Structure 1
Amino acid sequence: MNALSPSLAMRNVAASTIEQDIAAIARIEAVPRLLKVLCETTGMGFAAVARVTDEKWVACAVEDRVSFGLMPGGELPLASTLCHDVRSTNQAIFIDHASQDPVFCTHHTPRIYQIESYASVPIKLADGEYFGNLCAIDAQPHKMREPKVMDMFELFAQLIALQLESDRRHARTESLLMNEREAGELREQFIAVLGHDLRNPLAAIAMGAVLLKRKAGDPAAVVTAAQRIERSARRMSGLINDVLDFARGRLGSGIGVELEETTTLGLSLEGVTAELREAHPERAIVADIAVDGPVRCDLERIQQLLSNLLANALSHGLESAPVGVRAFLDGADVVIEVRNDGEPIPADRIDRVFEPFWRRTAAREGLGLGLYICSQIARSHGGRLTATSSAERGTTFTARLPIRL
C-alpha cells in the first residue's frame, strides 16, 4: 500500500509550543487505544491526532498500519489536508468513496495521498480553542458515514479534548504550587538574611548610644561613638534601599529609572571610583573611563551599578592585585567593565551570580542583592549585565547599555 506515502516532503516541527502539545497528547494514556479502536472498527489503515493551526498540520499520535510513514512530530503541508477545511468550517468531514463522491471526487487531497475513505473531526476545548483533528484515512473505500461511526469519532474527539483540559489544569496547578513554594522559600531566606544583617548595625548603634551617655565629658570618645553610629546608620540605609529595589524588581516591571539626557556620565563614574578609593585606601583601583558626549540614562542608577560592581570586586578580589574599571563607547552602547583577580567563580555557578541572595562565599556580607540590583538596572536601561570568570583572566562583570545618543 505504498501509494499512501505522501508525495510532499514532511519535516519535524521545532516550535516549542508544538512540542508541548505533542507531549500533552503523549501523556493521555488512552489515545493509542482510541486510535487502535478506530482502525479496527472502521477498517481504516491510518489514524492520527493532529495539532492543526493556521499554519501547520503536525502529528501528535498515530496508528499506522499501512506504512504511511508519519510519526509524532512529523508535519504535512497544511493546504494539502482536509483538516484545513475542517478547521475553516468547524464541521467534520466523512468520506466513504472519494473518487465517487460528488463533492470530493475532484478535491486535491484524495489525489495527493491516493485515498478513498476519510474522516476528520475537530478537537475543540471548552474555552473555544481549536486544538486540532482526530482523523483517519485509507486507500480503500469504507463506510465512514454510518451514524455509529461518526458518533464514535465525535465521542473520541470529545474525550481527547477533556483530557487535554485536565492536563492543562494539572500543569497550571503544579506551576502555582511551585511558585508558591519558591515564594515561601524566598520569604524565609529574606527574613533570615535581613534579620541577621540588620542586627549588627543595630547593636552598634545601641552600643554607641550607651558610650555617648558614659563618655559625655570626653569629646574624643563622643566623636568615636558618633562616627560608629553614622557608619551603622549608613549601612542600615543601604540595606533598606537594597530591600526596596529588590521589591520593585520582583513585584513590579523592574527597577524604575528616570531617563534624562546628560553629558556628565564619565565624570559621574569617575566620582564613584574616587569614593571607593577613599573608602578603601589600602586597595589599588585602576580606572580607564572614556565616556564623552550625550547619553540618555538615569545617572544615579548607573552610579549605583558601578558602585555595587566595584564593592563586589573589592570584597571578593585578591587584596594584593588591583581592581580594574573601564568605561567606553562601543557604537550606540556604553560599556562598563569591572575586573578583579582572585578565586574564580566556578563555571556551574556563574549563571547564578545575578540571583537574589546569592553569595560567592558562605560568609554573610550584606543581603546578597547587589549583583541582582545591578542586573535590573542594566535591564531597565535596555541593556544587560554579564559575567566571565577564570583563573587566568580573573572575574569580569560587563554592563552593556544602549544609551548613547
Structure 2
Amino acid sequence: MSLPDAARPHDFQADIDLIGSIEAVPTILDAVCRITGMGFAAVARVTGDRWVACSVKDDIAFGLEPGGELEVASTICHEIRQNRTAVVIDHVAEDPRYRTHHTPARYGFQSYVSMPIVLPDGTFFGTLCAIDPKPAAVNRPEVVGTIRMFADLIGFHVDANQRVASSGAALRLYANIVQSDAAPICAFDHDFRLIAFNKAHNDEFFRVNGFHTKVGDVFPDLFIPQQAAAMRANMARALAGESYKVEAVFGRPEFGQPCWEITYTPLRDETGSIIGAFHQAHDISARLLAEAELRDAQEALRQSQKLEAVGQLTGGVAHDFNNLLTIIRSSVDFLRRPELSAERRARYMDAVSDTVDRAAKLTGQLLAFARRQTLKPEVFDAGAQLHAVADMLDTLTGARIRVVTEVADEPCFVRADVSQFQTALINMAVNARDAMDGEGTLTLRLTCASGLPAIRGHAAATGPFAAVSLTDTGAGIAPDQLVRIFEPFFTTKEIGKGTGLGLSQVFGFAKQSGGDVAVESEIGRGTTFTLYLREIAGEPCGEPPVTDANESFPVGEGQRVLVVEDNVEVGRFATQILEDFGYSTTWAANAETALEVLGPDGSGFDAVFSDVVMPGMGGIAMARILRDRLPNLPVLLASGYSHVFARDGSDGFELLHKPYSADQLGRILGKVVPRRIRERD
C-alpha cells in the first residue's frame, strides 16, 4: 500500500546531493561571508519538522557540516518558512525584536541574515543564511539585495536540476516500459536504418531469422528478397506520415515464417516534423491457426447438420411418397382386372389422379422451401388478397375461431406469385388453427410501408415492405422448437396430423420472393407470424383467365413437333401423347441434337417442346438461341424445377410444370401451335 505524500519520509540526502551538484554554491557562500564579514554561511533545507545543512562554509567553528541538523523550532528559519520574509540583524543586543529571542541566545550569535530560497513555482525549499558571534553591518540595501540574488540563483538551479532529474527519471521509466514490453518495438529513420529497439524485437528477430539486429542496420536489407520489398514499402508509408496496421508474413522458411500484425506510427519532433517512424509487432500465427481450426470445426458442424437435415428430409419424403405410391400401385392393380365395374374403375382412376395431384403438391412444397420452384410473379393488392383468403378461412378454421381482418383502405401493391402467396397464408392459418385447438381468435393484419427488420441474424433491409401478420391466441411455441419450425418435416403435431411442410413453404416462398418471414411467440399467449414482401408502386395486373378443365381444345392436324427430352421414358410418353392428339413428332435426346435437326431454317417444324434441365445445354439456353435464329418458331418448356427459373423466371417462354397431364399438354400446345399456323398462312 502506498503512503500519501504527507506521510512519506522526505529524502534529505537527495537535497544534499542536489545542492552539492550546483558548482556555484561554494562560491556563493564564500561571497556571502566576504560581503557581510560573517564567519559562517550555509544553504539549509527547511521543512515543517527538520532543518538540515546542505552546504556549509564555517570559519568560526560553529560545528555544522553538510547533513548536520538543527532543531527546526530552535531556528529563525522556521519562522522564515512560515512567512517567507528575510530576517537581517546587525546586532542582536540592540535589536528590539530579537534581543530576547531564544535562537540568538541558544547559538550565541550577534549578527544574522537569512534569505528564503523559493523555487519558480512558489515552492519553499529552505534558506541561505549566515551568522557570526560579533555584530556586523549587514542590513544595507546592497548587501541584502546581493544575498537575495544569490538565494534566487540557488532556487533557479534547484528547480533546473529537479526538472532534469525528473526528465531523466521519466526517460528511464519510458525506456524500462519499452524494454519490458513483450511485443517487438523498433524505430527507424528516413534511411530505413534502425535507431532504437527493445529486447523483444531483437529476440524475436533472432527467433525467425537466426541472427540479431544492431543500431544502424538498414532494416529491410536484413530480410529475404521477397520480404524486403514489402518491409520497405510498409516503412515508407509510415515515414510519409501514415499510421496504419498490416498483417504480413516475415521470417525465413527454416524458422517457420510466422504471420505478424504490425502497427506503424510516424515519429515527430516538437515542431511536428517527421524524424522517423516505429512499428510494434505481434505474432498472430497461433490466433490465425485457432481461427482456422474453429472455421473447420464450424464447417464440420454445418456439414453434420446438413447430413442430419438431408436424412430427415429423405425419410420424410420417402415416407410420404411411399404412401402415395401405395395408393397408385394398388389402384393400377385393380384397374388391370377385366371384371372391374365401370363405377369402381372410375373410382380407382380418380384415386390415381388425386394422388398424383397430392404428390405434385408435396414436391411443390419441397421446392418452395428449397427456393427452386418456378414462381409466376405478378403485381397485386396484398390487402385484397388478404380479404379473399380471410373469407375462405371462416370455413377452414371452423365456427369457434373468430377471424379478424385489419387492412387499411389504401391499396398496398406487391409483386409475387399470387397462388403461392395464398398458399402461404393458408399454411400459416392452418398452423394457427391447430395451435388454438379449434377455438380462439385469428387476426390477419396488413401494414404497408414498413421496413424489413433484422431476422435470424440477417441485416435489416431499407425501403418499404408490406408486412402480413397472422396472430393466434393459441398455446404458443416453446423456445427450443421456435428455431426449428421452418425446417421441412419438423412438426410438433401428432402422427398423421401434419406433414411439417406448411411453414417450410412459407419460408421458401418469402425468401424466393425477396422477403422474409418472422415469428414471435409466448407460451400461453399465442404466436404471430409476419410475412414481409417488398412493396412496389403500380397497379395490379389483370386477373388471369379461368380455364375449365372440361373445356375442349384444338388437337393437332399433322403439325410437326420436335420433342427434346433426355429421359427416355418421359420422351417416349410425351411423343405418344402428342401423336394421340394428332401431331407428328420427332424426338431429340438433347439440345445440341435438336439444334442440328432444326438447322438454320427450322426444317419445317411447327413447334418445339423441350425439357429445361438436361445434360449439356439446358432448355432455356436452347430456347434463347431459337428465339434469335427462328423467332416465329414457338417453344414450349417443361420442368419440375429449375435454378434459372427460380432466379429469373421463364424468360418469356411458355412453361408447363411437371408433373403435367395429357390434357394440360394438349391444351397449351393447342394454344401455341395454331398461332404459328395462322401466322404462317
TM-score between both structures, scaled by the size of structure 1: 0.46
Larger radius of gyration: 2
TM-score between both structures, scaled by the size of structure 2: 0.28
Higher relative contact order (CA 8 A, sep 6+): 1
